[in-house]
Amino acid sequence: MTTSRASPSSSQPRAFLSARTSSYQLSPRLSGFSVSEQGDQGDNAAERGGGADATDPNPVLTDEINEIKRYEDFTTIDWVQDAVQEQARRRARRNEARGFWDREGTFGWRRKLWESYDAGQAWLVVTLVGAAIGLNAAFLNIVTEWLSDVKLGYCTSAFYLNEQFCCWGAEDGCPEWHHWGPNSFINYIVYFLFSIAFAFMSGFLVKSFAPYAAGSGISEIKCILAGFVMKGFLGGTTLLIKSISLPLSIGSGLSVGKEGPSVHYAVCTGNVISRFFNKYRQNAAKTREILTAAAGTGVAVAFGSPIGGVLFSLEEMSTYFPLKTLWRSYFCALVATGVLAAMNPFRTGQLVMFQVKYDRTWHFFELIFFVIIGIFGGLYGALVIKWNLRVQAFRKKYLAPYPVTEAVFLAGVTALLCYPNIFLRINMTQMMEVLFRECEGDNNYMGICDAQNRWPMVLSLFIATVLRIILVIFSYGCKVPAGIFVPSMAVGASFGRMVGILVKALHESFPNSSFFAACEPDVPCITPGTYAFLGAAASLSGIMHLTVSVVVIMFELTGALVYILPTMIVVGVTKAVSDRFGKGGIADRTIWFNGFPFLDNKEDHVFNVPVSRVMTNNPLSLPASDLPVREAEHLLSDNKFQGFPIVEDRSNKILVGYIGRTELRYAIEKARRTSPLSPNAKCIFTSDALPPDVIQNRRSVSSRYHQHDAPETFNEPEDTTGSSFVDFAPYVDHTPISVHPRLPLETAMELFKKMGPRVILVEQRGRIMGLLTVKDCLKYQFKVEAQENTTAGEPTSGIASASAHTDNNNNHERGPNMDEKIWDFIQRVARGFWPARDARITLDRPQPPSGHAREEEYGILDGTEDDNFVELEERAR
């Protein structure tokens, strides 16, 4: 790709995007991204008379505008402009301090000390974030274990101890641990009451104080790391309520886990701590580094897997992961796991309860059964993703006004169903600890290793697997802190242990078969615990569509290098099966379902269309001069556009820049506060349109600024404006990214993914033709996928998998399948109890009329919505 310096006249030809062809062009305005070169030209421009503000943004103005943007919900960060502004801020700080810090003798050591502190500030922040996450994780582990055990009984010697600590060192029974009642029925009732009480407290706290604390948070954090602003999602209140309500939701017995919410509270911790440092409060890109490191650290403390956490952040969370972020993520995970190990919450030296060691090897004939487990993991992920999205659609239509009631009802049903089963009665981490262990020593929970209990155990494990799948489908997404990692691993562990017991029974029935010839005599040939371990890996991979990070996490849990190959085989089979049923894990599907503007960098698309087919044609543009201020105010009040191209005049539409909605509104309000404006005051968006006397004044202001005398107030730039016009040139982006109309859409999407602009302008020979946003790309992607799936006669994936029928005529021709019958029955029952906004929920997106999709059909959030988490299908009505 070649670029050249932009000509002062916007009508000059643009540079080519590719050296091979002149059809696909990328404007040399990209050179605005190179700030070091800009800075030199900015100084020269200031000497020539007022061109500096076009290339050298005033850091003081920029900081105040960015402070305003922090409080604008559902907007998108322009990473290109953020990088330009940060470079300008750095240069301004150097210029301000040059005369002071350059003195030798008295102040020389202070300069070195300040530079060292500024360079090491990132490591200080990362250390504080890692330590805070480790402390929080230890606290949550202790509280969660106590809440889970208190439903079953209490410790007479110290009520605050859980069963493990109460019975520490006891050999023959545990007289200090008492159940709540003299018989099972009383214990059943107490178990039920504790469950609904914990669920009520968790749901009430979330609904009353921090609605964003509900759910897992991984989907939203992926969008935030990509630049989507969600005010309050990473705030201190959300962190506090999430940390309090998460143990309550786990203790209630709901089929939810704490590993997903661990990512959320870890990222909240990183955001809260980084806000105390100006370096991160003013720079979104640097804050993103901390948030990315914190996301990996959340997984690291949840699984006791620092390397796996870093790889999870790289594979799943971040769309931008440079080498320095990798190293800081590693260091943050190291600090957090070190603090967690020092706290030693389980007093066993383990970071998680289900950490286990294996000293046996595996045999090649077991690969057949490992493949079966991998297939199960893929089928499990496809089933849960499909039906959980339908349950979320149902919840949004009928249960949205009753979040606490829903959580209490689910906890009550879960308690009633789970208590009779010995594997569902205990919490899921304890269950995995039991199922992962080898049958040696006292590792014989409820006689699971006894041959005479083999078939009752198989039946119990089968019931546990089926019930847990159903409960996960209905529980994940309810309005309490709820993750899906551990529930999925528990499902896989119960299925894997069941398979392991059956394989062991097969071996004992035919010990002399040639199939088992590799088994050594007098040594256990089959280890059912390893099957449970591999089943957990398969289910986790199936639900999240992860590969490398899952293998590393499971390896760090066991430390058994010999099981790396079986784990890789199982995860590979799971990934192949999962991809057959649709791309993207449940976090990606939830993003599509909620309508967040997010382009997944893991997807490759081939549309074979130019951007002219997708762009917004003939956007509302503003002339560089002679635009009345009143008209600009009417434009802001009459529409919700997030920005406006600036053209030389509305007749020739020669592109000269771009101004955002926030910048324009701020500039108008600032001008009216500073000095009175005449009724016919005009807007001036370029320095070329300024009168000569104003240019002379601007030259003096710019000269003083570049001579290290930065303006102390915001009034100084406005002093150059008269009552008949307002100079908005300092607020205009004079170097927006622009492309040719024939540029392939796939290339434009790569620009959004890799560079992160908020908008790409489409121009031909200098004339503005349209503009392209992430929302436009997603709308076209959804339209194409809907048309392709409708033609193939298959249900649509992604957001469309949250809807049911294609079209009534097609349904009559091929008849409803079992899924549709079940879904229709659920809706008919629901309509009898709860009023809905719509008559029914559809599960497949209807085919667009005449082959063209209306813009409203694809309700991607674009920053103007008053309602959040609105289902895409709802927005079409």
20-53 b/e (C-beta count within 10 Å ≥ 16 → b):
eeeebbbbbbbbbbebeebbebbbebbeebbbbb
Query: Dihedrals φ, ψ of 182, to 5°?
Result: -75, -15
Residue whose pair of structure tokens reads 């499909």 in the numeric block:
386
Residue type, 404: V
CA distance readout (Å), 390 to 297, 650, 664, 820: 32, 48, 42, 11
Query: Dihedrals φ, ψ of 343, to 5°?
Result: -70, -35
Q: What does 794-854 look like in DSSP terms, one character per residue?
A: ----GGGGGB--S-HHHHHHH---HHHHHHHHHHHHHHTTS--SSS---BSPPPPGGG---
| Structural domains of the chain, ranges and CATH numbers in brackets | 364-407+429-594 (1.10.3080.10), 611-772 (3.10.580.10), 775-876 (no CATH)
Q: Helix or strand or coil: residue 243?
A: helix
- Mean of per-residue pLDDT scores for the chain: 78
Tokens of residue 555, six digits: 């390896």
Tokens of residue 291, six digits: 């948030």
Cα separation of 838 and 875, whole Å?
Answer: 11
pTM recorded for the entire structure:
0.78
Radius of gyration from C-alpha coordinates of the chain? 31
Tokens of residue 389, six digits: 């999205």
Those residues of the chain that have pLDDT short of 70 are 1-74, 93-94, 96-111, 171-172, 353-354, 441, 689-723, 789-821, 823, 825, 827, 829-877
Distance of CA 575 to the CA centre of its chain: 21
**Integer distance in angstroms from the first to the last C-alpha of the chain?**
44
Distance of CA 727 to the CA centre of its chain: 40
Tokens of residue 826, six digits: 């659920």
pLDDT score of 122: 86
Collect all residues with Cβ–Cβ distance below 8 Å to 500 and sequence separation of at least 6.
Answer: 526, 527, 528, 529, 530, 531, 532
| CB-side neighbour CA atoms (13 Å) of 753 | 18
Q: Helix or strand or coil: residue 165?
A: helix
pLDDT score of 756: 85
Tens digits of residue pLDDT in 706-724: 444 444 333 444 444 445 7
Q: Are 798 and 873 in contact (CB under 8 A)?
A: no
Cα separation of 47 and 483, whole Å?
Answer: 59
pLDDT score of 107: 55
The CA-based angle 782-786-789, given to 5 degrees, is 135
DSSP at 364: G
Tens digits of residue pLDDT in 484-540: 999 999 999 999 999 999 999 998 888 888 888 888 887 788 888 899 999 999 999
Q: What does 611-638 look like in DSSP terms, one character per residue?
A: GGGTSEES---EESS-EEHHHHHHHHHH
Helix axes 528-544, 428-436, angle to 10 degrees: 130
pLDDT score of 294: 94
Q: Are 475 and 488 in contact (CB under 8 A)?
A: no
pLDDT score of 812: 44
Element (H, E) at 100: helix 79-101
Cα separation of 183 and 192, whole Å?
Answer: 15
